């Protein structure tokens, strides 16, 4: 298996990306890890060749798409960027997996344009798995498509269901649709239409609408939403969790500084239970290939996990199953 | 001032509502508090008349709109419900303020139908004030209107700006628009249009798009969003905060039970800093009158605060200012 890794993408690139590649080495078999980016920098970070030359190769990319570059425009302008080259390699069957912690929009656009979509898929979706004390919950889409049509959400339900079945061995995963109330008639026009479509689709195990306050209780296996809403939720969760931990820590230091050390293992444990890094990046479902999008703040461990987990995704042949399912389910017929 | 209070609305009604009314008494001057609901129940809860008869009167409502009733249908079917009577009293100038912790959809629909909208307002919006360590931040709309048009969000910006100026004495409040990225070109079609409208409106102090991860850092004074997104955020925040506190408490009990008591004041302080109950309910801005919507889980203290805070809202004459502003700003001309 050949895993293409964007060495220049992410807030801590290339250092943490290359460090993650090195950390992944000990768990790799004969997989090839292709680092794409500025060759001199990558070589400098890799260190002695005897450590890595068995598994790692480098493809030089002289350009970088920055985090705030316009996705489509920058892809057109920077055809020698690491993201553009990575997507093209995956499309040209020079890599089996593409992984990037860089500009998400550019990565989605690049992979979609180069790799194309699976037959029957209208739009790709990013699926993120969030750990809860009751187990992992998937949420799709979290930002690949911020102007979803009903058919897109219906397909996210199908792809999310397959993902949780294949990767987490959940039999007949339950699907929840984010809305402002549990009743079928609650929500905006998009949600009302999708509710009807999923409810009428006998291949899906629909749990109905779910409210956002229930997420951490894990009301279902897969949460389906528009990419705008999913992206806002994900970022809000990050900000809120960080904010609360910071405030608790401030109060602790202020009121009971002597407890700070004793309290640390508590917080470490809470963190660990909600450590999304364990799940190793978010797949871009629906593209004809395997693309994993990592958080912009990814450190070496996050990259290592994404590399190792990406093998499972290829091995499950989830794309074949998505294609088969979409061919057998007349999703487009019920589009409204 | 006559304050109409839906005694039957909310998860803990009528007990906590009546208790809240009694708690408000000591801070009331000559205001009249009109409790609307099942008279025998209310009388039983009020206790001795000499305590309350100076300020409280009762209007009997034989019907109740339940939390899960369909808003518009139930209003039509239950014309003698506390919400329907409350809205009608406010519309007929028999009350200056309407307050309910009941079915939000029914309350919005009832007030909108009975009280009508202020001249120039296209749709009302619910504004919630969230406390942060950097001060209060307003978010509008959180669920009155789940299918917003650009003009609605533009008007939420105007009304939210006036609200923060009048109630929190913030000079020229800054407006942020929720999106998936800070750049003007990030977001769905709705957000891109609204971004342009607010940016071109010289009466508004636009801070640009804001990302949800920044909320607790208070990136602006007023956050504007579609009611679907706002509602999801609000409910998610509730669930996440509760969930994190619960998990921390579980870990504490498991790992360091001896610290539980010592840690309590820390958590109490964190709670207190984020206690939205202090702000006393959420105004439904844009209706021709004063309507305050309380959280369904409101306890006596929340109701008491809503009653007392509602006076400020009437006294600021914010509705006159909204009307004046909308008459002078050609909002509808830039509608797209």
pLDDT in tens, A264-308: 888 888 877 777 777 789 999 999 999 999 999 999 999 999 999
Q: How many CB atoms are located within 10 Å of the residue A44 CB?
A: 11
The DSSP-derived string for A192-237 is: HHHHHHHHH-TTSEEEEEE-GGGGGG--SSEEE--HHHHHHHHHHH
What is the overall mean pLDDT for chain A?
93
User: Which of A11, A188, A230 to mutate to test binding with chain B, by most B CBs within 10 Å of its CB?
Assistant: A188
- SS3 call for B115: helix
| Chain A interface includes B253 (CB < 8 A) | no
The residue of chain B nearest to residue A262, with distances taken between CA atoms, is: B256
CB atoms B228 and A188 under 8 Å: yes
| Chain B interface includes A67 (CB < 8 A) | no
Interface of B with A in 182-211 (CB under 8 A): 183, 185, 187-189, 191, 211
CB atoms B262 and A267 under 8 Å: no
pLDDT above 50 for B45: yes
* Predicted TM-score (pTM) of this structure: 0.93
Q: Closest Cα of chain A to B102: distance in Å? A: 14
pLDDT above 50 for A179: yes
What does the alpha-carbon distance between residue B233 and residue B137 come to, in Å, rounded to a whole number?
14
Q: What is the pLDDT of residue A316?
A: 93
- Residues of chain A positioned with their CB less than 8 A from the CB of B213: 235-236, 238-239, 242
The DSSP-derived string for B181-231 is: SSSTT-S-HHHHHHHHHHHH-TTSEEEEEE-GGGGGG--SSEEE--HHHHH
Confidence of residue A333 (pLDDT cuts 50, 70, 90): very low
pLDDT above 50 for B334: no
What does the alpha-carbon distance between residue B277 and residue B39 come to, in Å, rounded to a whole number?
27
* Of A196 and A132, more confident: A196
| Chain B interface includes A232 (CB < 8 A) | yes
Query: What 8-state DSSP symbol labels residue A42?
Result: H
pLDDT above 90 for A112: yes
| Chain A interface includes B232 (CB < 8 A) | yes
Segment B278-302 mean pLDDT: 93
Q: What is the pLDDT of residue A330?
A: 63
Q: B200 vs B19, B147, B164, B207, B211, CA distance in Å?
A: 48, 23, 21, 12, 21
CB atoms A248 and B251 under 8 Å: no
Tell me whether the omega of the peptide bond preceding residue B141 falls within 30 degrees of 0, making it cis: yes
Interface of A with B in 288-327 (CB under 8 A): none
| Chain A interface includes B275 (CB < 8 A) | no
The residue of chain A nearest to residue B252, with distances taken between CA atoms, is: A266
Q: What spatial distance separates the first Cα and last Cα of chain A, rounded to whole Å?
A: 41
Q: How many CB atoms are located within 10 Å of the residue A49 CB?
A: 10
Which residue from A68, A180, A267 is facing B183, i.e. has the nearest CB? A68
Interface of A with B in 1-40 (CB under 8 A): none
What is the overall mean pLDDT for chain B?
93
- Which domains occur in chain A, in start order? 1-121+286-336 (3.40.718.10), 125-276 (3.40.718.10)
| Chain B interface includes A72 (CB < 8 A) | no
Q: What is the pLDDT of residue B20?
A: 97
Which ipTM value was assigned to this complex? 0.92
Q: What is the pLDDT of residue B14?
A: 97
Closest listed residue to residue B184, CA positions, set B173, B172, B198, B174: B198
Q: Do A64 and A40 contact (CB within 8 A), yes or no?
A: no
Q: What is the pLDDT of residue B24?
A: 97
What does the alpha-carbon distance between residue B26 and residue A263 come to, in Å, rounded to a whole number?
42
Which residue from A147, A239, A252 is facing B214, i.e. has the nearest CB? A239
pLDDT above 80 for B38: yes
Percent of chain A at pLDDT exceeding 90 = 80
pLDDT above 70 for B332: no
What does the alpha-carbon distance between residue B102 and residue B91 come to, in Å, rounded to a whole number?
18
What does the alpha-carbon distance between residue A165 and residue A170 come to, in Å, rounded to a whole number?
5
pLDDT in tens, A42-84: 999 999 999 999 999 999 999 999 998 999 999 999 999 999 9
Q: B229 vs A135, B145, B217, CA distance in Å?
A: 26, 10, 19
CB atoms A255 and B240 under 8 Å: no
Inter-residue long-range contacts of A240-243, CB under 8 Å, 24+ positions, other chains counted: A240/B215, A240/B216, A240/B237, A240/B240, A240/B241, A241/A274, A241/B240, A241/B244, A242/B213, A243/B132, A243/B216, A243/B217
- Residues of chain B positioned with their CB less than 8 A from the CB of A212: 232-233, 235-236, 239
Structure tokens at A219: 């009301």
Enumerate the H helices of chain A as residue ranges: 15-24, 39-46, 49-52, 71-77, 82-91, 104-115, 150-168, 189-200, 227-255, 260-273, 300-315, 318-328
The residue of chain A nearest to residue B262, with distances taken between CA atoms, is: A256
What does the alpha-carbon distance between residue B186 and residue A137 come to, in Å, rounded to a whole number?
27
């Amino acid at each position: 298996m050949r895993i293409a890794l964007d060495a220049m993408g992410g807030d801590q690139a290339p250092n943490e990306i290359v460090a993650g590649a090195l950390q992944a080495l000990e768990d790799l078999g004969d997989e090839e890890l292709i680092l794409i980016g500025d060759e001199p920098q990558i070589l400098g970070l890799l260190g002695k060749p005897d450590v890595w030359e068995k598994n790692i190769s480098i493809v030089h990319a002289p350009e970088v798409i920055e985090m705030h570059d316009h996705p489509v425009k920058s892809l057109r302008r920077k055809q020698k960027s690491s993201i553009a080259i990575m997507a093209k390699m995956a499309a040209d069957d020079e890599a089996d997996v593409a992984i990037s912690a860089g500009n998400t929009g550019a990565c989605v656009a690049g992979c979609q344009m180069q790799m194309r979509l699976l037959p029957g898929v209208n739009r790709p979706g990013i699926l993120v798995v969030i750990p809860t004390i009751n187990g992992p919950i998937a949420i799709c889409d979290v930002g690949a498509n911020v102007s979803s049509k009903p058919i897109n959400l219906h397909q996210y339900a199908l792809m999310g269901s397959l993902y949780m079945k294949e990767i987490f061995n959940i039999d007949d995963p339950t699907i929840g649709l984010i809305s402002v109330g549990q009743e079928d008639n609650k929500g905006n026009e998009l949600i009302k239409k999708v509710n009807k479509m999923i409810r009428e689709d006998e291949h899906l195990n629909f749990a109905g609408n779910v409210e956002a306050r229930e997420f951490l209780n894990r009301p279902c296996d897969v949460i389906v939403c528009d990419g705008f809403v999913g992206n806002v939720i994900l970022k809000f969760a990050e900000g809120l969790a960080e904010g609360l931990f910071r405030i608790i820590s401030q109060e602790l230091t202020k009121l009971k500084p002597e407890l700070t050390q004793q309290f640390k293992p508590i917080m470490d444990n809470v963190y660990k239970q909600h450590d999304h890094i364990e799940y190793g990046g978010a797949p871009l479902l629906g593209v004809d290939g395997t693309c994993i999008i990592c958080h912009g703040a990814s450190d070496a461990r996050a990259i290592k996990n994404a590399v190792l987990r990406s093998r499972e995704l290829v091995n499950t042949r989830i794309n074949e199953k998505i294609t088969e399912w979409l061919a057998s389910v007349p999703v487009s017929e019920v589009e409204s």
